[in-house]
A and B are shown apart, each in its own frame.
Chain A
Amino acid sequence: MHPAPSVILFSTLSGLGFGFLAFLGWGAVQPSGWGAFFLWGLGYGLAVAGLMASTFHLGNPKNALKAFSQWRTSWLSREAWASVATLVLLAPAALAGIFGLGLPAVVGQVGGALALLTVGTTAMIYAQIRAVPRWHHWLTPVMFLAFALAGGAMLSDQTWAPMALLALGAVLLAVWRVGDGAFAKAGESLGTATGLGGLGVPSVLDPAHTAGSYLKREMIFVVGRKHAAKLRRIALALAALAPALVLLLPLGPWAIALAAVLHLAGALAARWLFFAEAEHVVGLYYGARG
């Protein structure tokens, strides 16, 4: 699949933002005054920046409001609702923190749960797609939630954050291991795609078109897979291992900032791979696999 920068930025930034907002909502950190303004601002900033980035890949964004209408079947529509509900529900919690007002803790707790639900709906947009076998697995939402939880724990300075980051590394390894066998396991081939498998072994004689097309650009992306192994090591090191180590250094808030920068770079690499390595079954018609 084509790794569109806007989608990679969106899902990475908003995932981290909503993860952090969850911890703020649950009261895992309880900043006040300017500190609260800065931390809530960071959470909201990441989440909203991500949502804004997501509109850049729309071909026709003037209809964007209509995306709230089909929540009964569409995970993308559910994501729209969940994200807006989270941002609205957590607003009083943020204001209460900044201005030192009393607010029942349950508001933040529900908002925090909604933040994680939002990340889950983002993941389901990909996990629901059967035509991309690498994504169509329960590990996809697990990975998105692991990123949100580890990132949120890191930004909110939880003592167990290094463990969460290492757990994220383990999830990444599992995702790659399962994902590498997913296409073969789905059992589709040029034989099933054309139905000619019963006749013999089909292969591409001539391409349907020699020029480029939306399908080839969007679904049959192959350029980046060459460096996949290297990028996996980079993603694992930067997203999980390095920030876990940095958090143990006695640098105070600077350790969190440095860990966050490293983690974000690794998360972007991992998310780029999530798209670039995903193969769509339509590629079979073009001889992309067997």
Chain B
Amino acid sequence: MTLLPGATEKLLGLVIDLDTCVGCQACVTACKGWNDAGIGLSDQDPYGADPSGTFLNRVHSYQVAVPDGPAQVVTFPRSCLHCEVAPCVTVCPTGASYKRAEDGIVLVNEDACIGCGLCAWACPYGAREMDAAQGVMKKCTLCVDRIYNDHLPEADREPACVRTCPTNARHFGDLADPESPVSRLVAERGGYDLMPGMGTRPTNKYLPPRTKGPGNASPLAPLLDVQAHGIAGWLDRMLGKI
């Protein structure tokens, strides 16, 4: 059903802290591992000359030229943002792409997917990848098969990427509840939306890197300004005149 449910009771999603993310790629690996065992995420020629594969989460790294401050390196995980106005859902011709009314998770019903790829085109964030072996669209499920899974210990009932993150840069919770820990994080740290101009109203939020203090001058800096004295100084002056 590709009609969006409108306001959902819950808005389950992630809050990603760009200040503490170190770009270790553990979330990429945990996501791939869990979902490959679940829905299947195929690789093509994985050990060959031209490897390629399906991933639901990828970590970029950027450098930021900061005016009046030291340059910063920011590692940046990118996955489905479970948008409130999800353009990937409404374009789907078969109803395979849908947004759950109960918790706002955007999912693909692979049994109805024709693999036309239109939803991947409609997503500004590159959150969807077609599985080349299965011919159907794959996307982050927010580990819907973990978070409600009574067979798992309670500590494991969160998305694999969140569970595995060694720096606690990823947080999972209900962003519709203003008192939830994730909502408070967003409020305290100025969490923001990616590409708000696209009108998608993402559920996932990103916390900006904290601003660093002014760059400390290098301890070797005084040595850069060498003044010659004595004979060397006399030579320096004389040679300068020739």
Instruction: Decide: A59 near B64, CB < 8 A? Known: A73-B2, A188-B195.
Output: no
Q: Which of B58, B130, B194 is within 8 Å of A195, CB to CB?
A: B194
A203 neighbours in B (Cβ, 8 Å):
62-65
Instruction: Decide: A218 near B130, CB < 8 A? Known: A72-B3, A131-B124, A201-B64.
Output: yes
* B113 CB within 8 Å of chain A: yes
* A-B interface contact total, Cβ < 8 Å: 210
CB distance from A210 to the nearest CB of B (A): 9
Q: Is the CB of B115 within 8 A of A66?
A: no
- Complex Cα–Cα for A80 and B93 (A): 9
Q: Is the CB of B59 within 8 A of A192?
A: no
Q: Is the CB of B199 within 8 A of A130?
A: yes
B194 neighbours in A (Cβ, 8 Å):
192-195
**Chain B residues touching A, majority SS:** loop
B112 neighbours in A (Cβ, 8 Å):
63, 66
A134 neighbours in B (Cβ, 8 Å):
none
- Complex Cα–Cα for A209 and B55 (A): 10
Q: Which of B60, B64, B134 is within 8 Å of A285, CB to CB?
A: B60
- Complex Cα–Cα for A61 and B114 (A): 5
Binary contact readout B204-218 vs A (1 if CB under 8 angstroms, 0 otherwise): 001011010000000
Q: Is the CB of A199 within 8 A of B136?
A: no
A195 neighbours in B (Cβ, 8 Å):
192-194, 206, 208
Q: Which of A128, A129, A205 is within 8 Å of B63, CB to CB?
A: A205
Q: Is the CB of B63 within 8 A of A131?
A: no
B219 neighbours in A (Cβ, 8 Å):
none
- Complex Cα–Cα for A194 and B194 (A): 6
Q: Which candidate, B72-80, B140-148, B161-169, is the interface stretch facing chain A?
A: B72-80
Q: Is the CB of B94 within 8 A of A70?
A: yes
Q: Is the CB of A280 within 8 A of B121?
A: yes
Instruction: Decide: A196 near B62, CB < 8 A? Known: A77-B93, A129-B121.
Output: yes
- Complex Cα–Cα for A117 and B161 (A): 46
CB distance from B124 to the nearest CB of A (A): 4
- Complex Cα–Cα for A214 and B62 (A): 21
Q: Which of B1, B54, B111, B206 is within 8 Å of A214, CB to CB?
A: B54
B129 neighbours in A (Cβ, 8 Å):
213-215
B121 neighbours in A (Cβ, 8 Å):
1, 129, 131-132, 218-219, 280
Binary contact readout A188-222 vs B (1 if CB under 8 angstroms, 0 otherwise): 10101111101111111111110111110011000
8 Å CB interface, B21-64 against A: 50-55, 58-64
Q: Is the CB of A205 within 8 A of B114?
A: no
CB distance from A195 to the nearest CB of B (A): 5
* A57 CB within 8 Å of chain B: yes
B54 neighbours in A (Cβ, 8 Å):
214
CB distance from A13 to the nearest CB of B (A): 18
13 pairs, CB–CB < 8 Å, chain A vs chain B: A57-B116, A59-B134, A76-B93, A76-B118, A128-B122, A131-B121, A132-B121, A195-B206, A196-B208, A202-B65, A204-B62, A285-B78, A285-B126
Q: Which B residues are within 8 Å of any A CB, using their own CB?
A: 1-3, 18, 50-55, 58-67, 69, 71-74, 76, 78, 87, 89-96, 111-118, 120-126, 129-132, 134-137, 192-199, 206, 208-209, 211
Give the 5 A-B residue pairs with the shortest CB-CB distance, closest first.
A59-B115, A59-B135, A282-B126, A200-B66, A66-B94
